[in-house]
Amino acid sequence: MNVMEEVRKYRDYAIAMRREFHRHPELSWQEERTAARIRKELTGMGISWEEAAGTGTIATIKGKRDQPVIGLRCDIDALPIKEVKDLPFRSENEGVMHACGHDGHISMLLTAAKVLAEHQKELDCTVKLIFQPAEERTNGAVKVLDSGKVGRLDTVAGMHLLPMLECGTISVDPGPRYTSAAFMNIKIIGKSGHGAMPQYAVDPIYVGAKVVDALQSIASREASPMDTVVVSICTFHSGTLANIFAETAELSGTVRTFNPKLQKELPGIIERIIKSTCEAYRASYEFDYYSDIPATINDERCSRIAAGSVKRILGEEGLVKYAGTPGGEDFAYFLEQFPGVYAFVGCKNEAKDCCYSLHHERFDLDEDALVNGAAFYVQYLLDAQEEIW
């Protein structure tokens, strides 16, 4: 099969699907319309499917052999962002937008499904197509896997459109792709009082500021200079009037690293710093550390297979290297259970005004990338079925 030729037959389909999903974005765990349309498309292709975790869908294509079982996964949810770019297919759901390219991810997997269904009798494997909800909430993958409907996979591939890479390129480097991603809430509990008489109060803003400053010592003094560590406090709320010390200050933030060992150590390190800082200034605290998803780490062998796949569809110049990034991705849970690869698919094209970062209110993608991503899904599956089993 000439994969690029087969996928290009469905270029218009890929674009139409992407634009429809873009026009009707839905937030995590609310992807009812999205799921219904995915299922309608799969049914029209003659592909059997089942619901998983509510708005998730797992479809199965059986080739000539039951094994290997190869998973292809995409995410389907949108973000609470107001779209400002005046596209003819702009979001009709005010305040909700596919600003992370998941509309394109759905389109690419559906397009790959069309090609695979058409060539079903030629496949030497079983294919699981996984349309996963709630990636932005970082708990969709866990619930889909916990449903038991994914089963055992011999390998799994996922991908993300990336506006940092030029359209026509794909990165499938081995090792870390995304850092782990954890979130935290910190409540500093002081003693309220008059702003003119600080000696009678315990100022939670002052203590909170000391906590923020002290936490920055983790990257510079607690972790190896060879490790990526991000500890960011992103919200800080306290007080109601200019002359009153509030009793509490509430902070929240995020924590990232590529190092799995350090990931496990960071909650204890952070709490130790919060505790000692609060004690030094006569305050107490409450600490909640949650949604600690692991780093997304590509399997060496699967990355090697994927590199060959990219070269087959895009040529030598299509395969590029891209350093791991401190974003979070719950595909990591798939890679903890099964060997696999996560690809970055370039969608940047400044001439088409497709150069804004993910989660930006003007995010858009060069739709030529849809063909590249769909082709990668198909080519990786064909190559993996020969090498994995």
* Cβ–Cβ under 8 Å, residues 32 and 55: yes
Beta bridge partners, 362, equal: none
* Cβ–Cβ under 8 Å, residues 231 and 270: yes
* Cβ–Cβ under 8 Å, residues 387 and 31: no
Q: For the beta carbon of residue 321, count every other beta carbon within 10 angstroms.
A: 8
Note down pLDDT in tens along the chain; length 389 residues.
Answer: 999 999 999 999 999 999 999 999 999 999 999 999 999 999 999 999 999 999 999 999 999 999 999 999 999 999 999 999 999 999 999 999 999 999 999 999 999 999 999 999 999 999 999 999 999 998 999 999 999 999 999 999 999 999 999 999 999 999 999 999 999 999 999 999 999 999 999 999 999 999 999 999 999 999 999 999 999 999 999 999 999 999 999 999 999 999 999 999 999 999 999 999 999 999 999 999 998 899 999 999 999 999 999 999 999 999 999 988 988 999 999 999 999 999 999 999 999 999 999 999 999 999 999 999 999 999 999 999 998 76
**Rounded-to-integer distance, Cα 308 and Cα 126, Å:** 21
pLDDT score at 125: 97
pLDDT score at 365: 98
Residue 222 DSSP class: I
Please state the φ and ψ torsions of residue 229, each to the nearest 5 degrees.
Answer: -135, 125
pLDDT score at 375: 98
**Rounded-to-integer distance, Cα 35 and Cα 368, Å:** 24
- Stretch (H or E) spanning 264: helix 260-280
pLDDT score at 291: 85
pLDDT score at 193: 98
**Rounded-to-integer distance, Cα 208 and Cα 220, Å:** 20
